[in-house]
Amino acid sequence: MKLLEKVTLGKQTLKNAIAMAPMTRSRATADGIVQELTVLYYKQRASAGLIITEGINISEQAIGSPYTPGIYNQEQIEAWKKVTRSVHDDGDVIYAQLWHTGRVGHSIDKNGNLPVAPSAIGIQGQQHYTAQGMQDYETPQELSIEEIKKIVKDYGQAAKNAVAAGFDGVELHAAFGYLPNQFLSESANKRTDEYGGSVENRNRFVLEVMQELVNAAGSDKVGIKISPTIYYNNIENSDPEAQFKPLIEALNELPLAYLHLMNGMFPLDHLPHYPKDAMETFGKVSRHLVIANAGYTRETGEAELEKGIAKIISYGSPFVANPDLPKRFELNAALNQPDLATMYGGGEKGYTDYPFLEN
């Protein structure tokens, strides 16, 4: 089956076409340092062709939720070295997902500082998980041009830190309503300067960050994750194709490793102008390798690869509960089901204690 065939990614050969998708697990310390349990967690899942880590905060300002890891100081870098070493010992490839949450955060977990965003528009109709429980979203602080330029540099430094920590590459999290996605969204970005107003201007921040990442990490070592048809976190566009196709075309001009493309994860009945097939609509535009994400099973993942647009399928929650997911796919074995109650925070329960297949 295609899921089990080797794939070339950049300058590396992956053992299969199954990637472990990024998933927030909130198991770091309050200072953003990953622990020995996290080393074990990733090592257990090193049979994936590619591991993409949970979102890693690029700076203190980037933090959105408690107990999420960082990569902006030496102690955090040293902790990640243990993870990359353990994964490499099993012959696997691991990318760091670089994360700035923008307005998807709360001052409770930001030393009293408000979240930042392209525009001072808060998220409505949702609440945010904080160290003091669920809270309504605050109105974020609108970023100045100078502050935006600083964040671009923060991404570059985070990429350098990731390379120093032993990662094989980095992925920009530009999906699911976080800061880069906020710049891409008409509903979140009401700027009238060079970073807003037109499609080209709304794409500018992401493209500047991607160039910075390539400069820092090198050619064929940078990926990007986008979600053109996901409206979670109040992200909407009047014409997703008009916004995202030019973005992908511009990304084609950069020496990237891949485009990580998310399917729509929520009903689109109230957004009839949104494309229903993200891979067909957007994946075909990319000249880079496409990783397909969100909602795949063994069967639908295989079918997606057969179509030929995507070359890798990334799995999220199936990898949470099945550290040996490629082996289970190979044998068509039953899957463990994830325990949603232990998804975020805590210790080994629901993290490193899911059973492997018996040998």
Point out the catalytic residue in the list 67, 155, 178, 274: 178
| 178: annotated active-site residue | yes
Compute the half-sphere exposure of residue 209: CA atoms within 13 Å on the CB side of its CA. Answer: 32
C-alpha–C-alpha distance, residues 274 and 182, integer Å:
18
Compute the half-sphere exposure of residue 160: CA atoms within 13 Å on the CB side of its CA. Answer: 12
Residues 6+ apart with CB under 8 A from 96: 52, 53, 56, 71, 80, 162, 165, 167, 169, 170, 171
Contact predicate 254/286, CB 8 Å = no
Q: Tokens 């200072």 — which residue? A: 31
Q: Tokens 């992200």 — which residue? A: 235
Q: Quick count: other Cβ atoms within 10 Å of Cβ 295?
A: 14
C-alpha–C-alpha distance, residues 357 and 335, integer Å:
9
C-alpha–C-alpha distance, residues 212 and 133, integer Å:
36
C-alpha–C-alpha distance, residues 53 and 225, integer Å:
12
Phi, psi (rounded to 5 degrees) for 217: -100, -25
Phi, psi (rounded to 5 degrees) for 195: -105, 10
What are the beta bridge partners of residue 245? Answer: none
Q: Do the strands 50-57 and 18-20 form a parallel or antiparallel pair, or are they unpaired?
A: parallel
Helices (H) and strands (E) in the chain, counts: 10, 14
Residue 18's nearest CA partner among 42, 45, 56 is 45
Q: Which residues are catalytic?
A: 178
